[in-house]
Amino acid sequence: MSDYLFLIPSLPLLGALLCGILHARGGKARDLAGPVANLAVLGSFLVAVLAFLEIRGHEAEALVYEGFTWIHTGTLLLPFKLHLDALSGFMALIVTGVGLLIHFYSIGYMAHDEGRAKYFAYLNLFVFAMSLLILGANLPLLFVGWEGVGAMSYLLIGFWYDKEGGWPAVAGQKAFIANRVGDMGFLIGMFLLFTNFGTLDVAAMKEAPALSGGVATLICLLLFLGATGKSAQIPLFVWLPDAMAGPTPVSALIHAATMVTAGVYMVCRMSFLFVQSPTAMAVVAVVGAVTALLAGTIALAQRDLKKVLAYSTVSQLGYMFLACGVGAFSAAIFHVGTHAFFKALLFLGAGSVIHGMHEEQDAFRMGGLRRHMPITWITFLVGGLCLAGFPLTSGFFSKDEILWETVSSGGSAAYALWGLGALTALLTAFYTFRLVSLTFLGKERFDPGEVHPHESPWTMTLPLVILALLGLGGGLMGLPAVFVEDGNWIHHLLSPVLAEGRPFASEGGHGLDHAQEGLFMVYSSIIAVVGILAGLILYRNGPERMAGLAKTFRPVHVLLAGKWFVDEIYQVCILTPLAALSRFAGWFDLGIVDGLVNGLGRLFQGAGFLVRRVQDGHIQSYAMWMAGTTTVVLAWLVMQLW
């Protein structure tokens, strides 16, 4: 029972409150926000490291911190319980570690933005929510972090809410609502879990007996819907590219390293459930692979630096879900780790480029920056190599492991999925180095008169260098068996926590041996090198050469540049009908329902008018009424007599 565990979330929370107060005071105090925020995350990182060592050290299965009872109603008992085991420990390290680097980088990046204190408050709140997500022992607590992270990304994306005609605010809202759609699935999944397991505590659910196939599949699919919302997979990935409207460090932290991996973490955390339903695993794998390919193709035709990286993130996330789908949960987490390093590096590099080029984001109007920003150039190159999967880089090892696990998971689908993965790897390498050569190589395509790029200050370049080293060295965490007998350190770390399951293997798949593993490793390195060279050669001196090619394949280019028109499809199929439905509801409510009520009023009024017309002032008409009624009465009497 280690009670220092609650420090990991509470330190950033404290930091956020302090920054909030500093922001409220304004003036000079705002400059203090940066350091305060960094200190908070540093503290949290150290605690995470300490906790991680404690677990690794004497094999303590997991650290648990039991706080106050949060919700206690009838059979539902949800204490505020934090639980750090190998999986959440590793994730905590990444979140707080990369988070720290990004906080440090943000000091320089946001130096002269007058809302910087508010920015750091939000960033700290984000780390708080993310750590809550990772450490939450029961699903509702995880959900608190889950939506908290969504809210923070909403605020951070819309940080510059009055720039570009208010577009960031719209992007933020889009992100929040897309997440909310996913959260609906997560919620219903939790309800089902509670009705079936009677508890929502992850550890308790793990021990509980297995569910029947159908229910398990339904729950897994619902949880996966939540994951697609958060980790931007096929149905709900539209918000991530627009999320680039936020400051670049935000994109680095949220949309590359931490938040988007929350979905993968949740799937791995519930791996014991996913393993129980092969169909759900298949769905996860297929969705992952298809998303990877789709995003990869879109990235080919993007001009905006950050948009390319955003789609590349969606694509890499697709890889992670592919890994989860084929049962290689530890490979997924390994890729989460390495991806966090090099993608954060690429984003921060892009940030430094944009910072230097005074908010210019269009790669077509850059070029030749290697002479102006040497550090950024080298670190960006390293990042690009990792992303492309250049042999021996961390990206290579983690992506290769995923591809290897996919093909070796047996079953007919394995080869198809591997094919998709390999093709995406080729595309990734190609568009990465298309970007690198467009931005850094070739001649300057901007007029040096009014734009003079300069290298970013050391506070920004230091994190780049650190991340570059991590990117290169990251592969050591999971060396494949071919190199070192049991070099896959991360696999051993996570295996006790993650469930083992080869959903496809059961279909008589033939486990491949080491020789094939080496062979496939050669395949992926060839793919990477080919992609890199293609990217370099075709885009060496500017986009003109490829422009011609783009014209010949006009429809393909339009399709890709238009992002497969997914946004437009959603707009037409979902948003407009819903808006029309709501307008109809508005009209219906006022017209019909309200009409009925007012109608009742008018009915009585009308009746009043009818009666009034009888009193028309003529004496003789009154006499007429009298004579008439007496006659009628008389007639009635006569009838009676009869």
Partner 1 sequence: MIASILAVLPAAEGIPNPSIPTSWVLLLAALLFILGIYGFLVRRDLIVVFMSIELMLNAANLTFLAAARERMLDPEGQVYAIFVITVAAVEAAVGLALLIAWFRLRATLDVETAVELEG
Partner 2 sequence: MALPVFLILAAGAVFFAANVVLRRNPAECAVHLVGSFFCLAGIYLMIGFPFLAALQLLVYAGAIMVLFLFVIMLLDLRREEPRENPRISTIAPLAMGLLFGLLAVVLPDMPVAVATGRGAVAGAGGAEGGKELANYLFGRHLLTFEATSLLLLAGIFGVVVLAKRRTSRKADLERLLENIEAESRTERKEPPLVGAGSEGVAS
Partner 3 sequence: MDSSLPLILTFLPLAGALGILVAPVRGRDGGAASLWGFAQLIGVATFLASLPLWFGYGPGEEGVKFAFSADWFRFQTLQVRFALGVDGLSVLLILLTTLVSMLVLFSASSHIKDRAREFLFWLLVMESGMLGVFLALDFFTFYVFWEVMLIPLYFIIGIWGGPRRRYATIKFFLYTMAGSVLMLLAIVWLVSHPLTLPGAGGPALTSSILDHTAHLRLPASTQTWLFLAFAVAFLIKVPAVPFHTWLPDAHVEAPTSGSVILAGVLLKMGTYGLIRFCLPLFPLATLDFAPILMGIGLVGLLYGAFLAWAQSDLKKLVAYSSISHLGPIVLGTFALNALGLEGSVLQMISHGLATPALFLLVGMIYERRHTREIGDFGGLARVMPRFAFFLMLATFASVGLPGLSGFVGEFMIFLGAFQASPWIGAVAAAGVIFGAVYMLSMMRRVAFGPLRSEENRRLKDLSLRESLVLVPLVVLFVWIGVSPSTFTSRTSKTLAQIQAKVEQAR
Q: How far is the CB of 558 from partner 3 (least distance, A)?
A: 31
Distance CA 397, CA 476 (A): 8
Of the candidate residues 75, 552, 615, 640, the single one contacting partner 1 (CB under 8 A)? 615
Distance CA 455, CA 356 (A): 7
Nearer to partner 2, 576 or 631 (CB): 631
Distance CA 509, CA 134 (A): 34
Of the candidate residues 392, 533, 627, 632, the single one contacting partner 1 (CB under 8 A)? 627
Q: Is 151 in the site for partner 3 (CB under 8 A)?
A: yes
Residue pointed to by tokens 């783009």: 550
Q: Is 187 in the site for partner 3 (CB under 8 A)?
A: yes
The listed partner (partner 2, partner 1, partner 3, none) that binds 638, CB under 5 to 8 Å by sort, is partner 2
Of 566-625, binders to partner 2 (CB under 8 A) are 620-621, 624
Q: Is 638 in the site for partner 2 (CB under 8 A)?
A: yes
Nearer to partner 3, 598 or 620 (CB): 598
Q: Which 3 state secondary structure label does DSSP give 73?
A: strand
Query: Which range touches partner 1 (CB under 8 A), out of 22-30, 363-371, 550-558, 623-631?
Result: 623-631
The listed partner (partner 3, partner 2, partner 1, none) that binds 549, CB under 5 to 8 Å by sort, is none
Q: Which 3 state secondary structure label does DSSP give 110?
A: coil
Of the candidate residues 140, 235, 368, 542, the single one contacting partner 3 (CB under 8 A)? 140
The listed partner (partner 1, partner 3, partner 2, none) that binds 195, CB under 5 to 8 Å by sort, is partner 3
Q: How far is the CB of 628 from partner 2 (least distance, A)?
A: 6
Q: How far is the CB of 638 from partner 2 (least distance, A)?
A: 6
How far CA 182 is from CA of 123, 143, 231, in Å, comes to 23, 12, 10
Q: Which residues pair with 63 in a beta bridge?
A: 84
Q: How far is the CB of 404 from partner 3 (least distance, A)?
A: 39
Query: Is residue 523 packed enough to be buried (19+ CB in 10 Å), middle (13-18) or exposed (0-12)?
Result: middle
Q: Is 629 in the site for partner 2 (CB under 8 A)?
A: no
Nearer to partner 2, 585 or 635 (CB): 635
How far CA 443 is from CA of 351, 361, 448, in Å, comes to 21, 17, 11
The DSSP secondary-structure symbol of 543 reads S
Residue pointed to by tokens 């949060």: 70
Q: Is 122 in the site for partner 3 (CB under 8 A)?
A: no
Q: Which 3 state secondary structure label does DSSP give 357?
A: coil
Residue 486 contacts by C-beta under 8 Å, 6 or more apart in sequence?
492
Residue pointed to by tokens 């648990």: 64
> For the chain, what is the largest distance between any 2 Cα atoms, rounded to a whole number of angstroms?
124
Q: How far is the CB of 610 from partner 2 (least distance, A)?
A: 18
Nearer to partner 2, 522 or 633 (CB): 633
Query: Which range touches partner 1 (CB under 8 A), out of 33-41, 65-73, 135-143, 615-623?
Result: 615-623
Distance CA 353, CA 610 (A): 82
Q: Is 569 in the site for partner 1 (CB under 8 A)?
A: no
Structure tokens at 61: 């299965």
The listed partner (partner 1, partner 2, partner 3, none) that binds 612, CB under 5 to 8 Å by sort, is partner 1
Q: Tell me, residue by residue from 587 to 626, as one string, x for binding to partner 3 by CB under 8 A and - for no binding.
A: --x---xx--x-----------------------------
Residue pointed to by tokens 């051993």: 492
Q: How far is the CB of 599 from partner 1 (least distance, A)?
A: 25
Distance CA 351, CA 111 (A): 13
Distance CA 66, CA 81 (A): 4
Helices (H) and strands (E) in the chain, counts: 27, 2
Q: Is 570 in the site for partner 3 (CB under 8 A)?
A: no
Identify which of 176, 172, 124, 129 has the alpha carbon closest to the alpha carbon of residue 148. Answer: 129
Q: Is 633 in the site for partner 2 (CB under 8 A)?
A: no
Q: Is 183 in the site for partner 3 (CB under 8 A)?
A: yes
Q: How far is the CB of 66 from partner 3 (least distance, A)?
A: 14
Quickly count: other Cβ atoms within 10 Å of residue 563's Cβ.
21
Q: Tell me, residue by residue from 574 to 613, as one string, x for binding to partner 1 by CB under 8 A and - for no binding.
A: --------------------------------------xx
Q: Is 75 in the site for partner 3 (CB under 8 A)?
A: yes
DSSP string of 452-469, one letter each residue:
---PPPHHHHHHHHHHHH
Q: What region, left, alpha or beta, does residue 503 occupy, with left being phi > 0 and alpha being psi -120 to 50 degrees?
A: alpha
How many residues lie near partner 3 (CB under 8 A)? 52
Q: Which residues pair with 76 in a beta bridge?
A: 73
Of the candidate residues 162, 207, 359, 616, the single one contacting partner 1 (CB under 8 A)? 616
Backbone phi and psi for residue 157, each to the nearest 5 degrees, phi listed first: -60, -45
Distance CA 339, CA 91 (A): 12
The listed partner (partner 3, partner 2, partner 1, none) that binds 544, CB under 5 to 8 Å by sort, is none
Q: Is 626 in the site for partner 2 (CB under 8 A)?
A: no
Structure tokens at 446: 């901007």
Query: Is residue 637 packed enough to be buried (19+ CB in 10 Å), middle (13-18) or exposed (0-12)?
Result: exposed
Nearer to partner 1, 584 or 625 (CB): 625
User: Where on the chain is the footprint of partner 3 (CB under 8 A)?
Assistant: 68-76, 140, 143-144, 146-148, 151, 154-155, 158, 161-162, 165-166, 168-170, 172-173, 176-177, 180-181, 183-184, 187-188, 190-192, 194-195, 578-579, 581-583, 585-586, 589, 593-594, 597
User: Where on the chain is the footprint of partner 1 (CB under 8 A)?
Assistant: 612-620, 623-624, 627
